[in-house]
Each structure stands twice: as C-alpha cells, then as structure tokens.
C-alpha cells in the first residue's frame, strides 16, 4: 500500500527542529518501508523568528517563514509540530491547529502541565489529537509505554530521574567534590545546561514531566500549584559527603505513587537513595524511569533524556502516529482525562525516613534538646552522627546529623520550627528524604 505524503508544519528550527529535519531526510524511506507504505511525511513549512540565523540543518529557503501561523494556515500542512517553547505563543499556535483540526505534536512539558486542561478539552471538542512523547525523558518512549503497552495495568509507582542537567551536576559534585556553582559552570560549558538554568535546577522541569506522567497513569489533570517541588541549588558537598558515608547517593527524584485510598502522591525533590539501587548508577545527562504495574511488576526505562536526535526521535514517533490518525479517525487522540475524582496526597501526609543536619554550638545538652522536641511530636530517631574535625577538634560550632525513622512530613515541619528556636542552632536545618525504593 502507498500513500501521498503527509505535510508537516514545523514551528521552531533550533536543536530539536533541525534534528527532526535530519531524521526525516535520513530515514524517511525507512519509516515508509516499516509502515508498509502507509506513512510518508515531508516538511512543508518551517516557522522561525530570524531568517538570517545559522541553522543546524540545511533546508530549502522557500520553506521558511517568520509568520508562526503559516504552519497552521498553509493548506499543504496536515500536522503541526510545536517546538518553540514557552506558554503563550505556543498555546495560541496549538489552539489554532486544533481548531483547524490539524493534529499537533509538541515537546512542551511546561505548557501541557500548566495549560493542558484547556488544550486537552479543545482536543476532545475538535476530535483532534495532541501527541507529546518528546515532552518527557527525551528519546525514552515512556508516554507510549504508559498509554499503550501498560494499558492493562494499574500503575502503582513511578520513580524517575528525568532532568539530565541536575543529574550531571549532582554526579560531578559527588565524584569530583565540586561545589554547586563549579558543577553548574561545568555543565554550562559542556552545553548540558542552558544560559538560564532555572527550570532545570529548581526542580520544575522534572516536576512538569512528573505531572504529565501522573495524569497519564491516573487519568485526571493535575494542578501544578498542588505539587511539592524542590531543586538542587542549595545542596552542598558536605551533605553529599555525609550521604556517601552513610551508603547513599543524592539524586533529584520525581515520584508518582498510588495510595491505597486511591489518592496520588506526586513530588519532586533531591533525595538519598541506596548506592545499591539501580537508579544510583544513572549518571551524566541520562534519564531513567522505574514503573511498577500490578500486572507487569517492575520495569526500568533508560536512555538519553535530552539532546538533538534523541528528542527528535520522539517527535518522529509522534509524527508517525499522527499520520496514522489522519487516515483513521478512530485512532488514539493523545491524552483524554477519564477521571474527575482524582485527588493528590497533601505533602504533609507523605511519609519517608529522613536525614536532618543541624549546625549547632558545641555545648552540653544539644542532642537532648533536639531529641526532646522530636519526641514530643512522635518522631523516632534511628541514629545520630557528629564527626570531629581532626584539624579543629575544639571547634565552637559543629554539624550534627539525625537519622529519623519513617514519619509524616507535617509533624517533622512542626518539630523543625521549634528546633530552630533553640539558642544552640546556628542555621536552618538541612532536610533530605531517605527513599526506600
């Protein structure tokens, strides 16, 4: 079977956009052959901000335009690919494409996490698809795995390292003993971090991806303002060293967990995990997502979480699916919510073990004072550690680590607020969850 070419309108021709062009040029025939002639795609229009900018791929000049809406309005375009980022112009473009009943492919996790409710509602109204494999974990096909391969599973647990920039920075802080500023600079010099690294290091890039995974796994739209997010900016070599001595590594982890009452726990934050766990060995800019389903059991998805061709590969996968949808009106329409009663677990009710580091004056009664406050709210101590600095054994100020048994976050916050009022405390306590994966 053969078919005429499906026209693609590409909004954005930066790193990922030029990668999409390269793969179609190189493997367009392969895609057509694997689909037995059912899928043949060609880029018909490319919207960019600056026509004079040097590109990462050579495409004919007559394909380019500076009018973003040309990729929707051009009659030769059947599918619109949004790769410009942001949440304003990108929203307008996707909305226009859906209203024109042209399927959309996007890698814009921030837009879908923050304004997905509007776009998915419009998608359902217009019976037109939104595909977003490239929005989570780069080239790892995690979206299709949840939507298709695991459709018969209740997804009980998702734990992921889904921001490569933070993962690289933490690795360098661990292996080379770098401070956060030095590790960040190295990541920028190597091109792993953007000039504005904010979303990568403050946790929100990973959190947006976790929100999408949570919606897909559990069928309801999640409000980002209800999600607990912490980044890596304040992590110090001292805590990484303590973690290592205790048998842990520090990773920025995202969690999506189904509780017995049907509520979903979703959060992103730096955490301690055992050096023996498989996620501890995920280094550099690689991503990994561990999924537990009631039928599948446990499975791990691993690969490059960013980069030109890994991300472009996911875009191409969605393009192929979108091309099929044009030929079959009853095919997958991306994500459509199927629950209206979904609830998130309040962060105060979440439970883990904890590492707490207190900066204190070296005086009698410190351990007793802190222990009393923790005990008053029912928190159990599994161990304490206060190493002596051999270069300064008579130091006036010391670092003291408490390890706590599993407890709810709410009572811990209450206790820490009281501990901070003690005269012996010289800085705000440092808190890490100890995850048992």
Active site residue ranges: 209
Burial of 252 (0-12, 13-18, 19+ CB in 10 A): buried
Question: What's the rounded Cα separation, in Å, for the pair 302 and 141?
Answer: 9
Cβ distance 426 to 263 under 8 Å? Answer: no
Strands 430-434 and 264-274: parallel
> What number of other Cβ atoms are within 10 A of residue 99's Cβ?
13
| Alpha carbons within 13 A on the beta-carbon side of 69 | 6
| Cα–Cα distance, 92 to 68 (Å, whole number) | 10
Q: How far apart are CA 334 and CA 326, in angstroms?
A: 13
Identify the CA nearest to 401 among candidates 252, 179, 246, 273.
Answer: 246
Tokens of 68: 């973003």
Between CA 180 and CA 197 the distance in angstroms is: 13
User: Phi and psi (nearest 5°) for 425?
Assistant: -85, 125
CA atoms of 13 and 64, how far apart (whole Å):
10
The DSSP line for 87-123 is SSHHHHHHHHHHHTT--EEE--HHHHHHHHHHHHHHH
């Amino acid at each position: 079977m053969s078919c005429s070419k499906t026209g693609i309108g590409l909004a954005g021709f930066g790193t990922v956009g030029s990668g999409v062009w390269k793969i179609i040029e190189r493997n367009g025939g392969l895609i057509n052959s694997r689909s037995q002639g059912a899928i043949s795609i060609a880029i018909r229009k490319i919207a960019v901000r600056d026509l004079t900018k040097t590109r990462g791929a050579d495409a004919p000049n007559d394909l380019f335009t500076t009018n973003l809406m040309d990729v929707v309005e051009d009659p030769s375009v059947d599918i619109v690919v949004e790769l410009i980022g942001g949440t304003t112009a990108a929203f307008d473009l996707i909305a226009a494409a859906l209203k024109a009943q042209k399927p959309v492919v996007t890698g814009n996790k921030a837009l879908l996490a923050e304004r997905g409710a509007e776009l998915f509602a419009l998608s359902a109204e217009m019976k037109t698809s939104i595909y977003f494999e490239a929005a989570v974990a780069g080239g790892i096909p995690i979206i299709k795995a949840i939507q298709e391969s695991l459709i018969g599973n209740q997804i009980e647990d998702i734990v992921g390292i889904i921001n490569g920039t933070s993962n690289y920075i933490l690795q360098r802080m661990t292996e080379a003993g770098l401070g956060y500023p030095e590790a960040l600079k190295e990541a920028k010099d190597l091109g792993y971090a953007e000039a504005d690294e904010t979303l990568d290091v403050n946790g929100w890039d990973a959190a947006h991806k976790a929100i999408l995974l949570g919606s897909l796994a559990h069928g309801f739209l999640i409000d980002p303002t209800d999600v607990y997010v912490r980044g890596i900016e304040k992590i110090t070599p001292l805590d990484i060293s303590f973690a290592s001595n205790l048998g842990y590594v520090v990773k920025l982890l995202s969690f999506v967990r189904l509780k017995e009452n049907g509520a979903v726990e979703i959060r992103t934050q730096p955490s301690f995990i055992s050096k023996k766990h498989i996620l501890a060995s995920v280094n550099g800019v690689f991503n990994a997502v561990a999924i537990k389903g009631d039928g599948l059991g446990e499975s791990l998805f691993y690969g490059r979480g960013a980069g030109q061709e890994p991300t472009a590969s996911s875009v191409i996968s969605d393009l192929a699916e979108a091309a099929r949808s044009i030929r079959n009106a009853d095919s997958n329409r991306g994500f459509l919510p199927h629950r209206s009663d979904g609830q998130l677990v309040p962060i105060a009710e979440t439970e883990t073990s904890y590492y707490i580091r207190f900066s204190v004056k070296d005086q009698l009664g410190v351990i007793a004072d802190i222990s009393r406050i923790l005990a008053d709210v029912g928190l159990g101590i599994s161990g304490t550690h206060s190493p002596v600095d051999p270069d300064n054994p008579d130091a006036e100020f010391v670092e003291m680590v408490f390890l706590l048994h599993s407890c709810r976050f709410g009572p811990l916050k209450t206790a820490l607020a009281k501990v901070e009022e003690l005269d012996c405390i010289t800085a705000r306590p440092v808190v890490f969850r100890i995850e048992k994966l």
